[in-house]
Structure 1
Amino acid sequence: MAVHLQSSLFDQGDEIAVRPLGGLRREHLGHGAWIDVLPQWLQGADTLFGALADGVAWRAEERVMYERVVAVPRLQAFFGEREPLPHPALEAARTALSAHYGAELGEPFTTAGLCYYRDGRDGVAWHGDSSGRGSTEDTMVAILSLGAPRHLALRPRRPGPVPVRRQLGHGDLVVMGGSCQRTWEHAVPKTARAVGPRISVQFRPAGVR
């Protein structure tokens, strides 16, 4: 798949490697939810973006909305438990996340969902990853952002806390934890601005979707 990505000035190397997770900063959102953020966690993020853009069997999906069938505004791929991930760097990232959060989470990250936002016309509407255990239990979803920066927006389901927006791209990591999936919603808003392509990789524990 031919894409044009303007590389980050801060990530010039071709070697792909995860950096230590010691620099994570936690922000408590309210209602028992929190996020951890670590900019430029993955070295060589733009190289990995290119490998995934070309090497993953991306799916274009459709859904019913207001009695019409519409195209889902992004490409997707999913790798379940015990399925090999499409690049060794993703295996290394999942292993590092499981080791760092294992005691707090109580289980490893086991699945990986990939979303490919081709330009500003692609996005994802407000939602929580609550079709599984996230609807009733505290859990974590770790998102690795590759490619051009896009905003991740978060808002509370109940009034009180202030909504949050974080621009993520070029190897940035955000981890949504605590009650985040059931007390908050998140989205990648569409934009009329000229933006480059982005891939997000969502690592989840078993039974969280």
Structure 2
Amino acid sequence: MNSNKKVCNLHHILYFRLIFGYYFKQPTLKLRILTKLYIALFISGLTWLFITKVNGMLYYLQYCDILEYITFIIYSLITEDSSLLRSYEEKIKIDSLPVAKQYFRQLEKFLYLLLFLICGLRLFASSLFCIYAFEICKMAPFGVSVTNTFLTAMDWRHLNTVIWFSLLQTRVKILKNTLEIQGFDRGPMQRFSPRMYIKMYEELVGFSEFNGYAMKSIVRITSH
């Protein structure tokens, strides 16, 4: 495996998640301390504001959702999203195939589009709420803002899982597309020989299993 160059650049998405408390491993000790301190202050402040300011709007959020959100924050602090980082920072043989660059570029566009879509839908939902519940928004604008911040934060809790599975799907598509276009070379040690395809597939399975334990555990947590 080669980690000199990322298969795609998703750090902007991870930093956007970090704004809402979802931690991922930072390159220096100073940044680790600062980001963890920020997360602690953000969670404490948001929780305090929600409890003290929202009051009558409590029905707008379910306690189980808040608990799930906090669980994801703790999980991100423990795992540092290391499995996700390895999934796109470390390269395997499939990532060097001729069509790989094109597919990873499409994946980047899709994920950034998803980022804007999530933000846009939350903004639309908030606007719709204030249209149909204008009096509440007028009487308690700060409470509405706190509630929407909580909801926006929860919108991002599953994104790391989406990214991980999208990377896996993209690599499978790269292998499938290469097989369809290139076919098989005759020599057993040729780049596109059946043996090489099997090796690439086995490497992908092993790589996904190694990095997939964390994703499986968080899926189990949220499915109960």
Q: Structure 1 length normalisation: TM-score?
A: 0.22
Structure-2-length-normalised TM-score: 0.21
User: Would you tell me which structure has more helix in proportion to its own residues?
Assistant: 2
- Greater share of residues in strand: 1
